[in-house]
Homo-oligomer: A and B are copies of this chain.
Amino acid sequence: MVLTMRGFPPVLVFRRFSSSSPTTTIVTKAIPSKSHLHSPIPDSAFPKGYTLTGLHCGVKKKSGVLDLGVILSTSPRPTSAGACFTRNAFKAAPVLVSQDVLARTGGRARAIVVNSGCANAVTGKQGMEDAWSMVRATDALLPSQSQAPRESETLVMSTGVIGQNLPIAKILEGIRSQGPSGTRTLGSTFEAWERAARAFMTTDTFPKLRARTFAVRGKEFRLAGMDKGAGMIHPDMGPPSGQLHATLLGCILTDAAVSPRSLQSALTYAVDRSFNSISVDGDMSTNDTIVVLANGAATAAEEPEIDEATDPEAYEVFKQELTSFAADLAQLVVRDGEGATKFVTVTVEGAPTYKDAHAVASRISTSALVKTALFGEDANWGRVLAATGSVALSQPIDPTRVNVSFVPSDGTAPLPLLVNGEPEKVDEARASEIIGQEDLEIKVELGLGSESAKYWTCDFSYEYVRINGDYRT
């Protein structure tokens, strides 16, 4: 018996063979292809002064699948580095080591090494040694910049299964292959950037790589970035001094010159409004890390670094560009969320504080009931409201001031669902039309103040359960 449970395509059909049978068959819509989200970028669009690669070293079993990325700054100027790390209490070894590197150098780093396939998390003393080995092997690829015995200048990231040790010999061999006597594949073309982006991937279905150009006082700079999801995505990252949580990895590289302190504060601001405002499954990883490098390669040696204290205007331009670029990269992770068929923006307005707005947006974005309703294309605003009401805000919610609407992505009129706490007579055909779109916005107005926040989330599908019920095997 096949029951057609919803009338509109793509169809959602459910079938139970018999009550005594151990199997159930679910015929559902396929996950839409995301391949159009990855396309070539001209070589000239990438920031100057970086050389990078991605290779297969053997962390992943399948031959040819990239699992090791190396990124080096070749700029003659000092390279500034900032990072935000997970607030999880069980910080993985690469997180602890990268924090240590930044603390020792005072925010300078010239290299990034990343592996996928194994998170090097909960791996004890051996894990720490392995992460340091990766750092030192990558350090050795950097040209010496001074005679003094130097600190390590490499940040390290790992993603994959928790609780297993790295196949460190294979990784070190892979890193050393990029040395002068190795089969060096480092480069600066789109192909090289793309290989590095691929080395980040775990359950991602496409490499996430973006570049853009921006100007400070008429002078052009470039930003490029890559990141990966696609599960255990609900980051809560803070600057190195904070505690940790989130597996989201990413790096942003620019050829602007920015002081270490200002680079970190711009990144912290940007991450709150981008990577800390996305959710795939509401789970925080032990490894979440976003790194930014600013190598100054597009500037002359005598030009000062952008700094908040000495040139607040230039800093503000840089901060806003970084935030907008980080939001683009963060949204790519949601679009490629495990099993995602929808990309949903949750906007909360009229909150007493930004924290309140962010908390409500986060709760709606992580509600299993909201997310399954989105998958089922059901305009179930009651679940949005129940999620909203379950958050303890700094000021009590007055139900009679709350509005909820669905905003279509095609620019047509929004659909009010709840106005001043009272349900609207909903045009179900119109509701189905809006919720049938791949992109959609849920808007909640609290009527309590003037603060707002945005969150990006996806739906919860059978495919999510399949991917995560069967990840390790």
Residues of A within 8 A of B (CB): 5-6, 9-14, 16, 19, 21-31, 33, 87-90, 119, 121-124, 161-164, 231-232, 236, 243, 245, 281-286, 366-369, 372-373, 375-376, 378, 380-383, 385-392, 396-397, 399, 402, 418, 421-423, 460-466, 468-473
Please, how many angstroms separate the alpha-carbon atoms of A473 and B25 in the complex? 20
A231 in contact with B396 (CB, 8 Å):
no
B14 in contact with A24 (CB, 8 Å):
no
A386 in contact with B231 (CB, 8 Å):
no
A468 in contact with B29 (CB, 8 Å):
no
A468 in contact with B30 (CB, 8 Å):
no
Residues of B contacting A391 in the complex (Cβ-Cβ under 8 angstroms)? 89
Please, how many angstroms separate the alpha-carbon atoms of A166 and B257 in the complex? 65
A469 in contact with B378 (CB, 8 Å):
yes
- In the complex, what's the smallest C-beta–C-beta distance from A129 to chain B, in angstroms? 14
A465 in contact with B468 (CB, 8 Å):
no
- In the complex, what's the smallest C-beta–C-beta distance from A249 to chain B, in angstroms? 15
Q: Shortest 6 CB-CB distances between A and B: which pairs? A: A376-B469, A162-B382, A372-B468, A89-B389, A89-B397, A90-B389
| This chain: copies in complex | 2
Residues of B contacting A87 in the complex (Cβ-Cβ under 8 angstroms)? 390, 392
Residues of B contacting A372 in the complex (Cβ-Cβ under 8 angstroms)? 464-465, 468-469
Residues of B contacting A375 in the complex (Cβ-Cβ under 8 angstroms)? 465, 469
A386 in contact with B461 (CB, 8 Å):
no
Interchain CB contact (< 8 A) of A390 among B88, B464, B469: B88
Residues of B contacting A14 in the complex (Cβ-Cβ under 8 angstroms)? 466, 470
B23 in contact with A466 (CB, 8 Å):
no
Residues of B contacting A468 in the complex (Cβ-Cβ under 8 angstroms)? 368-369, 372-373, 376
A12 in contact with B90 (CB, 8 Å):
no
Interchain CB contact (< 8 A) of A24 among B30, B89, B124, B470: B30
A88 in contact with B389 (CB, 8 Å):
yes
Please, how many angstroms separate the alpha-carbon atoms of A392 and B399 in the complex? 30
Please, how many angstroms separate the alpha-carbon atoms of A462 and B23 in the complex? 12
A27-B23, A460-B465 known; A373-B16 Cβ under 8 A = no
Please, how many angstroms separate the alpha-carbon atoms of A28 and B14 in the complex? 12
A25 in contact with B23 (CB, 8 Å):
no
Please, how many angstroms separate the alpha-carbon atoms of A283 and B383 in the complex? 9
A89-B396, A90-B399, A284-B390 known; A382-B161 Cβ under 8 A = yes
Please, how many angstroms separate the alpha-carbon atoms of A462 and B472 in the complex? 18
B22 in contact with A162 (CB, 8 Å):
no
A162-B386, A390-B87 known; A423-B122 Cβ under 8 A = yes
Please, how many angstroms separate the alpha-carbon atoms of A19 and B367 in the complex? 30
A13 in contact with B9 (CB, 8 Å):
no
Residues of B contacting A281 in the complex (Cβ-Cβ under 8 angstroms)? 368-369
B12 in contact with A470 (CB, 8 Å):
yes
Residues of B contacting A25 in the complex (Cβ-Cβ under 8 angstroms)? 25-27
Residues of B contacting A124 in the complex (Cβ-Cβ under 8 angstroms)? 421-423
Please, how many angstroms separate the alpha-carbon atoms of A461 and B23 in the complex? 13
